[in-house]
């Protein structure tokens, strides 16, 4: 029996929710001591703004995925695609991130699994390159911390990353990886212009993500808005390191550790600790809210269709 049969899909989704909640509650419990000393100082307007911008960032990422999936010929009702994408975000909390791809196959069950996997890979590459570019871009706003020669190197490396995205380079690399995993090579690959489009959009999505962390920090102490770009760059640098930690669920602890190390150079350490824990809690709250919303919306959508 296929692991993607109807009953198994429901079982997998339920297990995913339980595991995510277990990881998150454990993290909050472990971090509560660091956060509790600052709870009385919370600015609830900043807290609401942090949630709002984080939610916007996730919704924009959802629309990027749907647009990218269409570029690969993957078609599904919006509510089904949104449900699969939002649940796949929770898959990040499973060590090894196996859940990222498994739940997406459900929404595109009438399409080749390899196409879904490749589209997910391209989504990852576009987001990864955009994250690198955001980090490199933020270096130019750290004149007092980063020497001039490193800023020049950042510009050169940015150009190199964009060249690397050209299908004549990216396609052979992708097919080489597929060969290692004994998968068939990709025949149709997105154009250079299309890949650049998704990288650029992901780069722009960095703005609401950065604002989410900015206002999470601002919850505990007023932060000068001139720090928004450095904060965004450090946030993405920490996310990239967390991404490399395959067995840390969604980089839990790893991403926070990098922010604790770098951000106190411009913001008080106590505020950094409290704000970093807060943005993790907000991010998880947004992910679970979206997953629940689209889960029940999908059920309602298909019930209405079955009644017609």
Tens of pLDDT, residue by residue over 111-154, are 777 778 778 878 888 888 888 888 888 887 776 666 666 667 77
pLDDT tens track for 81-121: 888 888 878 766 665 555 556 667 666 777 777 778 778 87
CB 287 within 8 A of CB 86: yes
> Residues 147-179: pLDDT tens digits?
666 667 777 877 887 887 888 887 887 778 777
pLDDT over threshold 90, residue 215? yes
**pLDDT value of residue 79:** 86
DSSP assignments along the chain, one per residue: --TTSHHHHHHHHHHHHHHHHHHHHHHHHHHHHHHHTTGGG--HHHHHHHHHHHHHHHHHHHHHHHHHHHHTT----HHHHHHHHHHHHHGGGSTT-THHHHHHHHHTTTS-HHHHHHHHHHHHHHHHHHHHHHHHHHHTT-TTTS-HHHHHHHHHHHHHHHHHTSHHHHHHHHHHHHHHTT-PPPSS---HHHHHHHHHHHHHHHHHHHHHHHHHHHTTS---GGGHHHHHHHHHHHHHHHHH-TTSGGGTTHHHHHHHHHGGGTS-HHHHHHHHHHHHHHHHHHHHHHHHHHHHHHHHHHHHHHH-
Q: 257-297, pLDDT tens digit by residue? A: 778 888 888 888 888 888 888 888 898 889 888 988 888 88
Interval 43-60 mean pLDDT: 95
Show the tokens assigned to 140.
């130019």
Query: What pTM does this model have?
Result: 0.79
pLDDT of residue 4: 45
Given this model, what pLDDT does residue 305 score? 57
268-271 contacts, C-beta under 8 A, 24 or more apart: 268/221, 270/37, 270/38, 270/220, 271/38, 271/217, 271/220, 271/221, 271/223
Q: Give mean pLDDT, residues 235-257.
A: 67
Question: Which tokens go with 268?
Answer: 């008080």
The phi, psi pair for 42, rounded to 5°, reads -60, 130
Rg (CA), the chain: 20
Residue appearing with tokens 């932060």: 223
Query: Where are the domains positioned within the chain?
Result: 6-307
Q: What is the mean pLDDT of residues 17-23?
A: 63
User: pLDDT at position 295, please?
Assistant: 81
């Amino acid at each position: 029996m296929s692991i993607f049969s109807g009953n198994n899909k429901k079982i997998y989704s339920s297990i995913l929710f339980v595991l995510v909640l277990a990881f998150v509650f454990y993290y909050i419990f472990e971090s509560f001591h660091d956060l509790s000393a600052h709870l009385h100082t919370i600015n609830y307007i900043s807290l609401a703004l942090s949630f709002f911008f984080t939610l916007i960032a996730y919704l924009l990422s959802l629309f990027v995925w749907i647009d990218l999936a269409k570029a690969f010929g993957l078609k599904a009702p919006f509510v089904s695609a949104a449900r699969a994408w939002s649940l796949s975000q929770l898959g990040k909390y499973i060590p090894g991130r196996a859940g990222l791809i498994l739940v997406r196959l459900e929404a595109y069950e009438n399409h080749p699994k390899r196409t879904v996997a490749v589209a997910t890979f391209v989504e990852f590459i576009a987001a990864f390159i955009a994250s690198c570019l955001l980090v490199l871009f933020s270096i130019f706003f750290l004149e007092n911390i980063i020497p001039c020669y490193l800023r020049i190197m950042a510009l050169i490396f940015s150009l190199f990353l964009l060249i690397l995205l050209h299908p004549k380079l990216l396609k052979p690399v992708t097919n080489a990886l597929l060969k290692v995993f004994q998968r068939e090579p990709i025949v149709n690959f997105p154009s250079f212009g299309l890949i650049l489009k998704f990288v650029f959009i992901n780069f722009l999505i960095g703005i609401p993500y950065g604002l989410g962390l900015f206002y999470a920090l601002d919850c505990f102490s007023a932060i000068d808005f001139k720090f928004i770009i450095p904060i965004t760059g450090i946030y993405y640098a920490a996310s990239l390191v967390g991404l490399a930690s395959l067995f840390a669920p969604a980089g839990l602890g790893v991403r926070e550790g990098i922010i604790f190390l770098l951000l106190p150079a411009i913001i008080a350490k106590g505020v950094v600790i409290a704000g970093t824990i807060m943005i993790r809690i907000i991010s998880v709250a947004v992910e679970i809210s979206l997953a629940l919303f689209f889960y029940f919306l999908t059920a309602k959508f298909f019930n209405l269709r079955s009644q017609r």
